[in-house]
């Protein structure tokens, strides 16, 4: 096993303690010691980049209770996928700014629901300013891992996220990673000259949406793409995998994936470290779904594989596991 000190990345801020993608969540992540934070980036109708888990926002805002926006409820289809709800691309920024954030996992994180309704949706440029202020306040340059969401879909409706994100991040002063479950947009960002580390996200199962659109049934799934890491290393700087690919009955399997990626010249990140039993892998669970199980045991096992970075909803817990505190 390799001896590394992985980057601790606040997943949507400190989203285990505050509603995700809010100023409070990001500020708390840095106060708890996170090295970087990870926003999910989508767009409004008028091309403003905003921070939401998905472009469908009924699960993370109060939009469903806002009668003035009842007529925006709709079903969207893209390729074989469909989703019903309220979508950022159907709102201008002025309209979206009137909504308030809510906890995405209220049944598991009831404590966080006490902060529902206090925070507006954040824009990407607001987060960039926050990182600058926090870097000065904490005396260290803090990083950013920017996830571009649903780029192929947004391209299809005339909102080119690769171009918009490249322009927005062109002058970011710290360590910058851009990631996506779609490699096409990472290539777009690279061709536009953004100085960033590019990381390809791998779902536990399934196939990348951009490949489905371009190749149809011939598209390789995510697992098949992991078979040729050497070729992937010619195009990106790293991979980010579901923690289930690292925590297996055969502990060596996860180490082998990390070692193989490192040998190809790729960094390895993993997601998402969460202490609640609902999210822990089976050997580490103890109690009901909302209780915390043996999170330290799982986190330490993941870190022992030699990963370069971990995404955590509770950055302080990941730091404790990394540093042996």
- In DSSP notation, 85-117 reads E-BGGGS-HHHHTT-BB--S-TTT-GGGGGGTT
Decide which of 81 and 88 is more confident: 88
Query: Which CATH number is associated with domain 7-56+122-323?
Result: 3.20.20.190
- The confidence score (pLDDT) of residue 4 equals 64
Confidence class for position 33, pLDDT limits 50, 70, 90: very high
How far apart CA 150 and CA 147 sit, in angstroms, is 10
Q: What is the pLDDT of residues 177-231, one digit of tens each?
A: 999 999 999 999 999 999 999 999 999 999 999 999 899 999 999 999 999 999 9
Helix axes 183-191, 161-169, angle to 10 degrees: 50
- The confidence score (pLDDT) of residue 248 equals 78
Confidence class for position 34, pLDDT limits 50, 70, 90: very high
Percent of the chain surpassing pLDDT 90? 93
Confidence class for position 3, pLDDT limits 50, 70, 90: very low
Confidence class for position 103, pLDDT limits 50, 70, 90: very high
How far apart CA 215 and CA 231 sit, in angstroms, is 18
- The confidence score (pLDDT) of residue 254 equals 83
Alpha helix segments (H runs only) across 63-218: 93-96, 124-138, 151-156, 161-169, 183-191, 209-215
Three-state DSSP state, 230: helix
- The confidence score (pLDDT) of residue 80 equals 83
Q: Where are the domains of the chain?
A: 7-56+122-323
Model pTM? Answer: 0.96
């Amino acid at each position: 096993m390799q001896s590394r000190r992985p980057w601790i990345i606040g997943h949507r801020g400190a989203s285990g303690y505050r509603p995700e993608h809010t100023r409070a969540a990001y500020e708390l992540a840095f106060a708890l010691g996170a090295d970087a934070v990870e926003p999910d980036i989508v767009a409004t109708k008028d091309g403003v980049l905003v921070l939401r888990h998905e472009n469908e926002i009924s699960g993370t805002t109060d939009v469903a209770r806002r009668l003035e926006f009842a007529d925006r409820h709709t079903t969207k289809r893209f390729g074989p996928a469909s989703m019903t709800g309220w979508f950022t691309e159907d709102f201008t920024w002025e309209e979206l700014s009137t909504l308030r954030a809510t906890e995405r996992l209220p049944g598991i994180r009831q404590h966080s629901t006490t902060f529902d309704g206090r925070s507006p949706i954040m824009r990407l440029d607001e987060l960039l300013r926050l990182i600058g202020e926090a870097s000065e306040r904490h005396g260290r340059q803090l990083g950013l891992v920017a996830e571009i969401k649903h780029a192929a879909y947004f391209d299809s409706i005339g909102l080119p996220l690769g171009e918009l994100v490249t322009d927005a991040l062109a002058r970011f002063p710290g360590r910058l990673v851009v990631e996506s479950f779609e490699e096409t947009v990472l290539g777009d960002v690279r061709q536009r000259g953004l100085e960033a580390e590019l990381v390809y996200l791998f779902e536990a199962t399934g196939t990348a949406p951009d490949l489905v659109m371009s190749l149809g049934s011939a598209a390789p799934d995510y697992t098949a793409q992991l078979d040729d890491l050497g070729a992937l290393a010619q195009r990106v700087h790293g991979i980010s995998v579901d923690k289930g690919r690292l925590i297996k009955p055969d502990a060596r399997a996860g180490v082998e994936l990390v070692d193989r990626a490192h040998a190809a010249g790729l960094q390895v990140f993993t997601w998402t470290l969460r202490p609640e039993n609902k999210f822990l892998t089976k050997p580490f669970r103890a109690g009901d779904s909302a209780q915390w199980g043996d999170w330290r045991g799982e986190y330490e096992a993941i870190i022992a594989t030699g990963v370069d970075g971990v995404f955590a909803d509770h950055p302080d817990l990941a730091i404790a596991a990394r540093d042996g505190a």
